[in-house]
Structure formats: structure tokens, C-alpha cells
Amino acid sequence: MPSSAEARPTRRRLSSEERQSEIIRVAVELAASKGVEQVTTQDIADAMQLTQGAVFRHFSAKDEIWFAVIVWVREHLMRVIDRAAAGAPDPLMAIEQMFSAHLKFVGRHPAIPRLLFSELLHKKSGRFRQLIEEIIGGYEDRIVKLIDEAKACALIDQRLCSRAAAVLYIGMVQGLVLRSAIVGGGKAAQPSAAQIFQVFLRSLTARP
């Protein structure tokens, strides 16, 4: 019979990139349950069954972990909304599909509102704020482009300010996400979200 040591399954050694991805994933999960301010590197190490030293071999400080988390949010959120828009038959449908995909993404990762609106992160170095501003700005630019395309297709009034409409869209999404985090138990895909989007859509297509 094999000895207990021989029978024990060996744990695959992860590459540095894989370990960093795992640390980011665990940090996101802990932020959802505890809040950004309360998560420590010891919490992350315990959840991964590692020592703090092992965590610090991949990230030099806790701030580096949170910065990597925000980068992760940017990459995954932009990928989700771009994929949603790609299959739409027209620009307005693309915006609607982006809206729905965004809320579903937040529903799968309820820590995201806590991360983006965290007072702790906003008080950090300017690069945190700059990165969050880049996320919002990049998203807004995508909406402006689609609004302009909708104008070119005569789907909405040419006189509509594309930038103002994009700011309104971002505010609508942020408001729903923040509301769900406070009163909806983190369930961002609320039943009323589709109706709220229809109000936004009517504001684009209404003619004076």
C-alpha cells in the first residue's frame, strides 16, 4: 500500500502570473464580504492558505494588490461591454446591451461598487484616482461614439449633445449600482433596470 505521504495529492505549483491572478480574485471576494477597508494581507494569505511572505513575493504592498484589482476591473468590464455591443444590430441596441451586461457583471462581482467608490482608495496616491477616471472616461467615450453613430443613422435628434447623453448614461449606471449596493443586497440586475433604461432611451429619441 502507498504511504500517506504518497497518497496525498500534490498541489500544483502556480506560476507568478497565476498566483497574482489568484491573489486578485481572493481580494475581490474578500472585499465583497468585508469591505475594502477591512481586508488585510493576512486575510488574503489565510484564504489562500499561504503566509503573508508568500503574498508579498508577488505584490510588494497591499496598495499594489488594490491597484492590480482596479486594473482587473477595467480589463474585464471593458471586455464585457465591448462584447455586448459587438453583436447589436444598431447603436442604440448596442448601448442597451452594454447597460444590461454591465449590471450583470456587477451582479457577479458585487465588490466592484465598493472598490470604485471606496474612500480608502480615493485617498491613496493620485494613480488610483487617475486609473478610476480612465475607466469612467474610456467607458464614456464608447457611449459618445455610439450616440454619434445613432445620429448618423437618424435614430436620434442631431441636436442632442452626445457627451451630455454619455454622462447621463454613466450616472444612471452608477446610480443603479450604488443603490443596489445599499438597499438591494448587491443584486445590481434589478427588475426595474430595464424600465429605467427605457426612460433614458426615450430621452434620446424624443423630438422637440
What is the distance between the alpha carbons of residues 190 and 41, in angstroms, rounded to a whole number? Answer: 33
Residues 6+ apart with CB under 8 A from 167: 140
| pLDDT tens-digit profile, the chain (208 residues) | 455 444 444 455 667 888 899 999 999 989 888 878 889 999 999 999 999 999 999 999 988 998 999 899 999 999 999 999 998 999 999 999 999 999 989 888 888 877 777 766 666 668 888 888 898 999 999 999 999 999 999 999 889 999 999 999 999 988 888 777 676 555 545 558 888 999 999 988 876 5
CA dihedral sign of residues 51, 56, 58, 59: positive
pTM for the whole structure: 0.81
